[in-house]
Structure 1
Amino acid sequence: MAILKNAITPELIPSYDGSNQTTHPSVLYFPDGFQGYEYWMAMTPYPFNDGGYEDPSVLVSRDGRSWQEPVGVTNPLVPRPAVGHNCDVELCYEPKLKELRLYYVEADDIRRSWVKLLRSRDGSHWEGPQVVLEDPGQMYSILSPAIQQRKDGSWQMWYVDSGNTGFENQNNKVRSRISLDGLLWGEETTCNDLAQPGHQIWHISVWRDPATDVLHAFYPAYPDGTNCDYCSLFYARKDPGQDWETYSDAVLDPGPKGAWDDFCIYRASFLLDEPGDKLKLWYGGKKKSDSSWNMGLVETSYTDLRRQLRTKIVT
């Protein structure tokens, strides 16, 4: 039984196609605001499982609940490619340059994939895209890039490698790369300690606490022998100098039959105030009867979450 309670109703997240069916959130919070808004979100529409609409989009909010396009922006920031599809956005902030960075994946669905980057100083005018990573031989080897700035100022990217099989692969690996500037990335390493026994990790989200250097991750994972339609959401934590600490229990399962998220719990984005004991978690969810997608918001106590997870740690 999962630890968190599902959002009873989904959030209203406007999408450029008019469906307001969205997924794969990536949320940043600016306490003093950025261009007048505390919350910035990158996401993609995904109406009724149609990957042709998974184009990078950006929204802003003052309260984390009511979202709109920034002034001067007409979503999507990038149109669909002539071949294949876009997906898997990740929004970052580069403090030295005072710029937003929106990374996303493009796959040709034949044999190649890329991680591309858009950059903006004001959130309204975006430059790019530029290619920062490419796999010329596999379609789905760099899924859901999760990017954080490290203590020394360099950057780290985590992502899921599902090779050419994608959503039904049975040997997914979480891999990582380091970059000095977030543009040129080094060789990949495999995060053997970040795994969910009996499951395949799918789309990952990571946040580094700048005060403690602790890494936190939330990720959907599907049981071995199934596919990504059967995901629940899990949590992991990495203290400095230690391996990733993972847990046997999911933090969020699909909702009850007939609920808006009764089939699949997808990629989540989260804001964690550990001293304040507050966790905000936006997550994508799919309804089984019509394959509609929406986004939910859960707010909870981080201490309570950790207490319940500690009782069933994965060794």
Structure 2
Amino acid sequence: MAILKNAATPELIPSYDGSNQTTHPSVLYFPDGFQGYEYWMAMTPYPFNDGGYEDPSILVSHDGRTWQAPAGVTNPLVPRPDVGHNCDVELCYEPELKELRLYYVEADDIRRSWVKLLRSRDGSHWEGPRVVLEDPDQRYSILSPAIQQMKDGSWRMWYVDSGNTGFENQNNKVRSRASRDGLVWEEETTCNDLAQPGHQIWHISVWRNPDTDVLHAFYPAYPNGTNCDYCSLFYARKDPGQGWRTFGSAVLDPGPEGAWDDFCIYRASFLLDEAGDKLKLWYGGKKKSDSSWNMGLVQTSYSDLLSQL
């Protein structure tokens, strides 16, 4: 049995296509606000499993519950490509330049894939996209990039490599790359200690606590022999100078039959206040009967979570 209680109802997250079916959240929190808003979210619509709508979109909120597009923005920020699809957004903030960075994946669904970057000083006017990574030979080798600025000012990216197989691959690997500026990335390494026994890790999210330098990760993972429709959500942490510590128990399972999230628990984004013992976690979920996608919000005590792992 998972530790967290599923959101009873999904959040209302507006999408440009009008379906309000959204997933793959990436949330930033600014205590003093950024351009007048405390919460910024990148996400993608995914109505009834239609990847043709997974185009990067940006929303803002004062409370993390009521969302709207920033002034001057018409979502999506970039249209769907002529071939293939967009997906897997990641929103970051560069403090020296005081700019938002929105990374996302584009795959041609034939042979190759890219990580692209949009940049903005005000959240309304976006420059790009710019290619920051490319795999010319594999379609799904750089999935769900999770990006953090490290203590020394460098940048680190984690992502899932599922090769050319994608959602049903049985040999997924978590890879990592370093960068001085978040634009030019070094060669990848494999995170052999970031693995979920008996499962395949899917779309990962990582956050570094600037006060403790601890890395925290939440990720959906599906049992070996199945595919990503059967994901539950897991947690891992990495203390300074140590490897990743994973846990055998899922923190969130699909909801009961008939619930809005009764089939799949997808990528999550989270805000963790260790000192205040608070965890906010937005997650994507899929309903089995109609393949609809929505987003839920769970708020809990971090110490309670740890004590049950």
Report the TM-score, using the length of structure 2 for normalisation.
Answer: 1.00
Structure 2 residue runs of 5 or longer lacking an equivalent are none
Q: In the alignment, residue 172 of structure 1 is paired with which amino acid?
A: N
Q: Displacement, 1:127?
A: 0.2
Distance 1:186 1:243 in 2: 21
Matched residue SS, 1:14: coil
Tell me what 2:239 maps to.
239
Matched residue SS, 1:206: strand
Q: In the alignment, residue 138 of structure 1 is paired with which amino acid?
A: Q
Q: In the alignment, residue 166 of structure 2 is paired with which amino acid?
A: G
Distance 1:134 1:187 in 2: 12
2:249 equivalent to 1:249: yes
Tell me what 1:273 maps to.
273
Q: Displacement, 1:238?
A: 0.3
Instruction: Give a deviation string over 1:198-244, Cα, whole Å, max 9, x none.
Output: 00000000000000000000000000000000000000000000010
Q: In the alignment, residue 132 of structure 2 is paired with which amino acid?
A: V
Q: In the alignment, residue 241 of structure 1 is paired with which amino acid?
A: G
Tell me what 2:67 maps to.
67
Instruction: Could you list the structure 1 runs, at least 4 aligned residues long, displaced by more than 6 angstroms after superposition.
Output: none
Tell me what 1:133 maps to.
133
Q: Displacement, 1:145?
A: 0.1
Q: In the alignment, residue 201 of structure 1 is paired with which amino acid?
A: I
Matched residue SS, 2:167: helix
Q: How does 1:8-157 map to 2 (within 5 A)?
A: 8-157=8-157
Q: In the alignment, residue 96 of structure 2 is paired with which amino acid?
A: K
Tell me what 2:292 maps to.
292
Distance 2:256 2:305 in 1: 21
Tell me what 1:206 maps to.
206
Tell me what 1:2 maps to.
2
Matched residue SS, 2:255: coil
Report the TM-score, using the length of structure 1 for normalisation.
Answer: 0.98
RMSD: 0.2
Number of residue-to-residue matches in the alignment: 309
Instruction: Give a deviation string over 1:86-117, Cα, whole Å, max 9, x none.
Output: 00000000000000000000000000000000
Distance 1:261 1:220 in 2: 13
Q: In the alignment, residue 41 of structure 2 is paired with which amino acid?
A: M
Distance 1:111 1:230 in 2: 26
Matched residue SS, 1:86: strand
Q: Displacement, 1:140?
A: 0.1
Tell me what 1:171 maps to.
171
Distance 2:179 2:76 in 1: 27
Q: In the alignment, residue 272 of structure 1 is paired with which amino acid?
A: L
Instruction: Give a deviation string over 1:179-212, Cα, whole Å, max 9, x none.
Output: 0000000000000000000000000000000000
What is the percentage of aligned positions where both structures have the same residue?
A: 90
Q: In the alignment, residue 38 of structure 2 is paired with which amino acid?
A: E
Instruction: Give a deviation string over 1:265-301, Cα, whole Å, max 9, x none.
Output: 0000000000000000000000000000000000000
Tell me what 1:226 maps to.
226
Structure 1 residue runs of 5 or longer lacking an equivalent are 310-315
Distance 2:119 2:105 in 1: 15
